[in-house]
Amino acid sequence: MARTLFTNTMIFEGTGKTLVPGEVLVQGNRIHSVAKPGETLPREGAQVVDAGGATLMPGMVNSHAHPTYNNGTSVAELTNLPVEEHVLLCMHTAKLNLDMGFTALIGAASAKPRLDIVIRNEINKGRIPGPRMLAGSPELTVTGGLADDNQLDAKHPSISIICDGPEEFRKTVRMLIREGVDVIKFNNSGDSFCYPRMAAYDNPMTDAEVAAICETANNIGKRLAAHAHADSSVRQCIKHGVEFIFHASFATDETIGMLERVKDKHYISPAIAARYNTTYEAKDWGITTDVAEMIGNKRELEEGIKVMIKMHKAGIKVLPFGDYGFAWLPHGTEARDLEHFVHLFGFEPWEALRAATAYGGEAWVGKSGEKMGRIADGYLADILLVDGNPLLDLSLLQDRHALLAIMKDGQFHKPFQGRVAQEQQIAAE
Amino acid sequence: MCRIFICTTCNRYAPPRADETTPGLRLARIVKAAAAQDKAIAVRMVECLNTCPNPCAAAFREPGKAVIRFGGLEPGDTSALLAAATTYAQSTDGILSPNTLPERLRSKIAGCITLGIPELARR
């Protein structure tokens, strides 16, 4: 069994407030042992990686990923993309995610029914590089809901499957599970992205419909995620045990209190960059701040910030990343979310990094019994070496040149070439 | 310390051949080399800064300060960019009047975001 010993490292364990000097031994696909300061680990038979004082940390986990999105400006661009080209694009995006230090993704909705599934399968077989993936379903929505782009006199394909009534949802959930999804995603709120059809604070799904989705998925042990901006959407998620609650922008104090009481059962993913970038950095695509305000996106941002500050203080697990894959928040820039968590939500840098690693890993493995997201004995060997201290400067994680090594499942995706070698390489280029 | 973020993807709408370097990466390397002697400036090479229709792009982003983005940059703007970064670092809130920037950067400001100061500032 292959062994790799990382020595001369500063370790971010995944939950700690500071870096701790130490060594890490990887055996096979797991972390075998972690040496405390002053201790050393056996080197016999191991590839020794002298990290030169670099930070060693768990790989990052994106718990709200859309690897099938094409950095486009509209849903029509996604639906018009032929499936053959779309598969190739997803392959490239999967590699890009791993190149940027994301060793695991939770699919938050697939733009075509089987895209997440086939990319996940190909990665699992080792035939293409990419993060571990939980394959998301397409968005399940109702007539007139988010991602129903039809009109009475014109059909417009979208990235959703439209169902009305509990039995249509049951049948569709069963079909998607038959095809191989891991996560069932549904839209029980609107969004400014479908302005003027369904506002974010509106919930078009009945309790019976949500119950049918959740009962059917839970019955077969599949995971659940919801596009849940509205307060009633969040309450439906709590009531019916939806693990991944996306956005939650308009959750009231009372709902936050309800969530706090069951905080071990849910993860909140605000995907705040979709609001921030659309409001402030999309004018080159025609979305000025005034337009963002008109469609409601700016309000989603401002209310979302207030809610996440409260949720964080309540100890609810708020996770970074999410909804990247549009022109003004493209793939490869996800790590900027960590800055938003500090600057907008009041997280300490170590808390943001904990959310990206230990909490993200915990979310990914769910009830499987697997261990991911920490530098500890028995955990999956998904490891990054970083050229500097991300607890002092989270922006390091946005720069692929600062990611000195990337290991997934005990194998190097990006081998370590030394800290000095990295600087020389950039200078020589 | 001040960080200069530079997009290495520019020009997203004219991707290079596999053996070519993007204009954004070329600019990033030039700026990084020029900033090497200044310990107060760090260069972060990032995948995108959301000014794709107007390459090449750079940004200043520090906690508690306005975010300033630039577009239409070229290697000849390097000195101006470093000077502007120093001005930004020395400011308390990052809200810079265009007159305080080098002349060749004044028409290249792509945006200034003040969210986070002062109403939601944590620091």
Domain locations in chain B?
A: 2-113
Mean pLDDT of chain B: 91
Percentage of chain B beyond pLDDT 70 is: 93
Checking if the pLDDT of B1 tops 70, the result is yes
Q: How many CA atoms lie within 13 A of A382 on its CB side?
A: 29
Q: Are residues A238 and A322 in the same domain?
A: yes
Please indicate, yes or no, whether residues A250 and A359 belong to a single structural domain of this protein: yes
Whether A382 and A304 map to the same domain: the answer is: no
Cβ of A281 within 8 Å of Cβ of B116? The answer is: no
B26 touches chain A (CB under 8 A): no
What CATH number belongs to B2-113? 3.40.30.10
Mean pLDDT of all residues in B49-67 = 94
CB atoms within 10 A of CB A121: 15
Across the interface, of A71, A330, A343, the residue whose CB is closest to B63 is: A343
Query: In the prediction, which pLDDT does A250 show?
Result: 98
Residues A127 and A13 in one domain: no
The secondary structure element, H or E, covering residue A136 is: strand A136-141
Pair (A401, A291) in one structural domain? no
What is the Cα–Cα distance from A89 to A68, expressed in whole angstroms?
Answer: 8
**Which pLDDT score, from 0 to 100, does residue A419 have?**
87
Residue A40 belongs to a domain with what CATH number? 2.30.40.10
Residues A326 and A417 in one domain: no
* CB-CB contact of B46 with B5 (8 Å): yes
Q: Provide CB contacts within 8 A for A260, sequence distance 6+.
A: A314, A315, A316
Residue window 29-68, chain B: list those with CB within 8 Å of chain A. 29, 32-33, 42, 44-48, 50-54, 61, 63-64, 67
Residues β-bridged to residue A23: A35
Is pLDDT at B13 greater than 70 in this prediction?
Answer: yes
Using pLDDT thresholds of 50, 70 and 90, give the confidence band for residue B116: low
Q: What is the nearest CA distance from A423 to chain B, expressed in angstroms? A: 11
CA–CA distance, A54 with A10 (Å, rounded to integer): 6
Task: Walk along chain A (429 residues) in steps of 10 and give the mean pLDDT of each run.
Answer: 96 98 98 93 96 97 98 92 97 98 98 97 98 98 96 92 98 98 98 94 97 97 98 98 98 98 98 97 95 96 96 98 97 97 95 98 98 98 98 97 98 92 48
pLDDT of residue B70: 97
Query: Searching chain A, which residue's CA lies closest to the CA of residue B25?
Result: A429
Which domain, by its residues, includes A15? 3-59+373-428
How far apart are alpha carbons A177 and A186 in whole angstroms? Answer: 14
Tell me: pLDDT of B33 over 80: yes
Q: What does the pLDDT read at residue B64?
A: 85
Nearest CA of chain B to the CA of A67: how many Å?
16
